[in-house]
Structure 1
Amino acid sequence: MAPHSDRTDSFVTRDASEKPKLSKTLPPRNVKWIEDVSWDTSLQPKDYELQGTHPDSKILFLNVNILDSTGREPYLGDVLIEGQRITYVGTVPNVDELRKDSKVRVFHGRGRTLMSGLGDAHTHFTWNGGDLDRLGDLGVEEHTLLTMRSAQCFIDSGYTMCFGAASAKDRLDVVIRDAINAGDIPGPRYLANGKEMARRDGELVAGITAFADGPDEMREVIRHHVDLGVDNIKLSMSGEEITEIRSAQDCYFTDEETAACVDEAHKHGKRLCAHARARDSVKMCVRHGVEAIYHASYIDDEGMDMLEAAKTKHIVAPAINWLIATLNEAEAFGYSHAQAEKVGYKRELDAAIVGLREMHERGIVVLPGGDYGFAWTPHGTYARDLEHFVKLLGFTEHEALIAATAGVAKLMMRSDDLGKIQPGFFGDCILVDGDPLDDITILQDHSKLNIICINGRVHKAGRKEYIPPPVAGQDHNNHVIVPDMDYPDVERAMQKQY
């Protein structure tokens, strides 16, 4: 069956060079938009618990600049985590007794920023940072180790929440999710996916695709994935320019197939996400209720109106860094700028920027994350999305951070206990040496992520974090003098080409 095509240039065509200019002090507009998103409780994912946190554990952050992701401006205070959860924020009762208690792990913030761990709305743990076409041939043992390293790379990068967007092998996402939850390997909280499903004439990479044609076969594939234990279902609905045979403007699904996929997934309590660059793909997602729309580059005016009318039922995760890097940074890997522009990546990037700016202005929830794990979008660089949101898409720094914290928590359907620094929320947080509201790019510098906590336990903290700052004259100057030496971190290559 021939694909539906957008090639009438009917996508949103306003000027991509007209960047919105907003004051950094503007209250973040997307707080309410995120709060308004609501999905049926029958679609609530399983309430996974991360093992390994001792119930008597206490972590006390003193004198931190609290960025709580509620929309409030940051403020100085203390934060106490007991067991898995945050118990006090701002003012901590009995703080003097706690700081003297040898059983309490005390961190001196010295004005650094304490914020929620970050979230990624379009995660591929199983992508290898190299040749995606060969992932299907990679042995399951090697692929499992590679996927474990990706999961650790996310948490090392300050990411404590990830929404799975497709797995290169049927059970890899599920197995890694379960190992993280069991405390066997480090990684973020994760909602797992299976292989992305595509028609036999519409796949992007054959070796990592589950094929199905027609509503009945698609229902069978979805039931298969449900039986594997996935949390999300991925549809590959449109093409991708890098294939050079399936354009991003082409839609390969029909309305009947999309409706059948949504119906079958929802019967089993699963939400869907879709690779939907094409105009018609986006409209099908909105018309039939695919919750997470990926890319949406070629949305047209009708699709924009449809999406705005249904904005409490959808999020958009554009994976904007893929377009930017493929156009401008893939040359070293053999894919030239000229070739990328020739097949249409500049055209798509320009269209995507315009459309995403308009979505943000209309109150449609746009979340960061996506398609990291390719050679020129390597694991560990996930926070580049936040810079693009600010520099290209009309977000303020505060709005970008809200999207990456409270926004991804909403996508996880965990707004009541993830994504904010609030009493009762899980102790998932990062201490940043600087102010990301002043410079959003600081989150790309792992050396500035001084402390990373998940579920009330410390994943990362440097040697100096355990040394109380000396006070002149204390103990008649008999206190231990600790040399102020820097011990360089051992940098590990998190991903290697296969």
Structure 2
Amino acid sequence: MGSQAGSIILKHANIIDEGRCMGQADIVIKKDRIAAVMPDAGPGEVGDDLLDCSGLTIMSGLCDAHAHLSWIDSADFNSIDSLPVEEHMLRTADNARTYLDAGYTMCVGAAAAKLRLDVAIRNAIDAGQVPGPRYLANGPEISSTGSYIDQLPESRPVAEFGLIADGPDQVRKQVRRLLKQRVDLIKLGLSGEEIVGRPASGQTIMDDDEVEMAVTEAGRMGVRVCAHARSAGAVRLCLDHNVPIIYHASFVDEKSMDELVRRRDEFFVVPSLAFIYRLVEGDGEPFGMPKAVAQHLYQAEVDAAVAAMRRLKREGVRILPGGDYGFAWCPHGTYARDLEYFVDLLDFTPGEALAAATVLGGEIMGRPNDLGRVAPGYLADLILIDSDPISDIKILQERERIVGVMKGGQFFRRPSSQRGEVQGKQ
């Protein structure tokens, strides 16, 4: 991504903002921000870069709220574990590029496969050494002995993406270890996971005092906590201890749903459907997971999650896309499937799904006045699409339909010159 001396003016574009079609306008970009959105910006000044965007739709870049940059599209955790850290960093950098190329300019890290992979790739992206989205770095997930991250002998975590902690003192130590690395988030594993055999998704595997300690210790440094929380009890722990980012919430009970509705401005819920939905649809079969087995493990959870998310969506709870991508059956690059699932399964309109992936993306990133909109003053993180995703949300799954990607006022991928440049002032 190169530097730009003058303004960039995107002419005659169809604008989507906050999930709504705003009509045709010009977008003026100065340095890294949107300076104006207006009906006609004129011919510009000497040195300006004018691009004819007739027939294109421009919207904010997208957010994946449950991202694993260091997951490597494997069908098991041992494959991640066996990859040396040097090669693992290269794969992580490649995944960061893939996110940006797919139109995702914001990602919330939901656990790293090794201690510093997330932190190192975030730093490299911020320094301009590696192309990638704006990224909130996480560390390995903290959970208890016998949890789904502790399935090998002698309490050796699976794939190094887990840190074992029993009791508040051990939780404090692990949180401090991660804070030392300058993570942006701390993740707790509060419930089980069917695919590893035990404990089950409906079981809760950490205690009140452990969660309270994690939130308190992270809060000293202004760091938020997120949680793997499939079970009703895990969601209850998030509510009781103010864990603001709740992953899955598949088996959330009526009492907790009522509280989420009352406290809707305090929490983000990310159902992460792709991981389990692709399994029950049979995509795990080539990797040793027969469809019938997957349905036995996860169909009830899919059904429960869909019903819960429909209700929470109707009542205004902030629900964001982010599908746990990076496994063999939901590989990197297929992130926009989540938008389709929001529409087809969760009763979102296409515009509502886009707003969840943009406006709410800015909010979960902690930058609601900088990210997620096509409006003056916002960072120029934009995608240019050859059609209207509100008319067909699935086009965002077709990489060739996203003809341009801009981050911070610089094109990562510029529309083909065959479209023609607008003649500006000389």
The TM-score with structure 2 as length reference comes to 0.94
Q: Is the 8 A contact 1:381 1:444 kept in 2?
A: yes
Q: Counterpart of 1:269?
A: 222
User: 1:29 maps to which residue?
Assistant: none
Corresponding residue for residue 96 of structure 1:
43
The equivalent of 1:182 in structure 2 is 127
Checking the alignment, whether the CA contact within 8 Å between 1:406 and 1:419 is kept in structure 2 is yes
Look up the match of 2:293: 339
The answer to whether the 8 Å contact 2:279/2:295 transfers is: no
Distance 1:72 1:342 in 2: 40
Moved more, 304-313 or 359-368: 304-313
Does residue 421 in structure 1 map to residue 365 in structure 2? no
Offset, 1:317: 0.5
Whether 2:54 is the aligned partner of 1:81: answer: no
Query: What residue is the counterpart of 2:274 in the other structure?
Result: 321
Contact between 2:271 and 2:322, CA under 8 Å: does it hold in 1? yes
Amino acid at match of 2:9: L
Give the corresponding residue for 1:115.
Answer: 59
Question: Is the CA contact 1:53–1:84 (under 8 Å) kept in the aligned structure 2?
Answer: no
User: Residues 178 and 465 (structure 1 numbering): CA distance in 2 closer, same or farther, change over 3 Å?
Assistant: farther
Residue 283 of structure 1 corresponds to which residue in structure 2?
236
- State the alpha-carbon separation in 1 of the partners of residues 184 and 2 from structure 2: 24
Name the SS of the counterpart of 2:171 in structure 1: helix
Q: Is the 8 A contact 2:50 2:422 kept in 1?
A: no
Q: Do 2:148 and 2:198's aligned partners in 1 also have CA atoms closer than 8 Å?
A: no
**What do residues 34-57 of structure 1 show as CA deviations (whole Å, max 9, x unaligned)?**
xxxxxxxxxxxxxxxxxx764634
Report if aligned partners of 1:53, 1:456 keep a CA contact under 8 Å in 2: no
**Residue deviations 1:101-126 (CA, integer Å, cap 9, x gap):** 4x322221113110000011111000
CA offset digits 1:161-202 (Å, max 9, x no partner) = 011110011111000001001101100001100001110111
Q: Could you tell me which of 197, 206, 209 is aligned with 2:158?
A: 206
Q: Would you say the 8 A contact 1:132–1:374 is kept in 2?
A: no
The answer to whether the Cα contact below 8 Å between 1:53 and 1:83 also exists between their aligned partners in 2 is: no
SS at match of 1:238: coil
Matched residue, 2:11: 62
Is the CA contact (8 Å cut-off) linking 2:14 and 2:21 kept in structure 1?
A: no
Paired with 1:256 and 1:92, the residues of 2 have a C-alpha distance of 59
Runs (4 or more) in structure 1 with deviation over 6 Å come to none
Cα pair 1:122 1:164 within 8 Å, conserved: yes
- Residue 322 of structure 2 is aligned with which of 369, 377, 381? 369
Q: 1:395 is aligned with what amino acid?
A: F
Q: Is the 8 A contact 1:119 1:159 kept in 2?
A: yes
Whole-Å separation in 2 of the counterparts to 1:156 and 1:290: 31
Matched-pair contact (CA < 8 Å) for 1:239–1:247: yes
Q: Deviation at 1:462?
A: 4.1
Cα distance between partner residues in 2 of 1:291 and 1:133: 30
Kept in 1: contact 2:9–2:44 (CA 8 A): no
Q: Does 1:297 align with 2:250?
A: yes
Tell me which of 225, 248, 251 is aligned to 2:178: 225
State how far apart, in whole Å, the 2-side matches of 1:263 and 1:416 are: 27
**Change in CA separation of 1:307 and 1:97 when aligned onto 2, cut-off 3 Å:** closer
CA RMSD in angstroms, aligned pairs only: 1.6
Task: Find the structure with the greater CA-based Rg.
Answer: 1
* Percent of aligned positions that are identical: 41
Letter in 1 for 2:287: F
1:323: Cα distance to partner? 1.4
What are the residue-to-residue correspondences of 1:411-490 with 2, within 5 Å? 411-464=364-417, 467-468=420-421
Q: Name the SS of the counterpart of 1:247 in structure 2.
A: coil
CA deviation profile, 1:76-110 (whole Å, cap 9, x unmatched): 111111111110102354x2244xx4x32222111
Structure 1 unpaired stretches of 5+: 1-51, 471-498
Opposite residue 43 of structure 2, the aligned amino acid is D
Retained in 2: the 8 A contact 1:85–1:427? yes
How far has the Cα of 1:469 moved from its partner?
Answer: 7.7
Give the alignment of 1:353-368 within 5 angstroms: 353-368=306-321
Closer, same or farther in 2 for the Cα pair 1:237/1:358, shift >3 Å? same
- Displacement of 1:439 in angstroms is 0.5
- Of stretches 459-468 and 352-361 in structure 1, the one that deviates more from structure 2 is 459-468
- SS in structure 1 opposite 2:240? helix
1:114, 1:429 within 8 Å by CA — same for their partners in 2?
yes
The aligned counterpart of 2:109 is 164
Deviation string 1:272-307 (CA, Å, 9 cap, x unpaired) is 110000010001101110010000000111111122
Matching residue's letter, 2:147: G
Counterpart of 1:47 in structure 2 is none
Q: Which shifted more, 104-113 or 278-287?
A: 104-113
Alpha carbons 1:80, 1:92 under 8 Å: kept: no
Deviates more, 1:434-443 or 1:323-332: 323-332
1:136 is displaced (CA, Å) by 2.1
- Shift of the 97–279 alpha-carbon distance from structure 1 to 2, 3 Å rule, reads closer
- Give the Cα separation in 2 of the matches to 1:465 and 1:120: 31
The corresponding residue for 1:484 is none
User: Residue by residue, what CA displacement relative to the aligned partner does 1:398-429 show, whole Å, maximum 9, x if unpaired?
Assistant: 11000000101100110111100011111100
Equivalent residue of 1:74, what SS? strand
- Contact conserved, 1:128 with 1:135, CA < 8 A, in 2? yes
Name the amino acid aligned to 2:14.
N
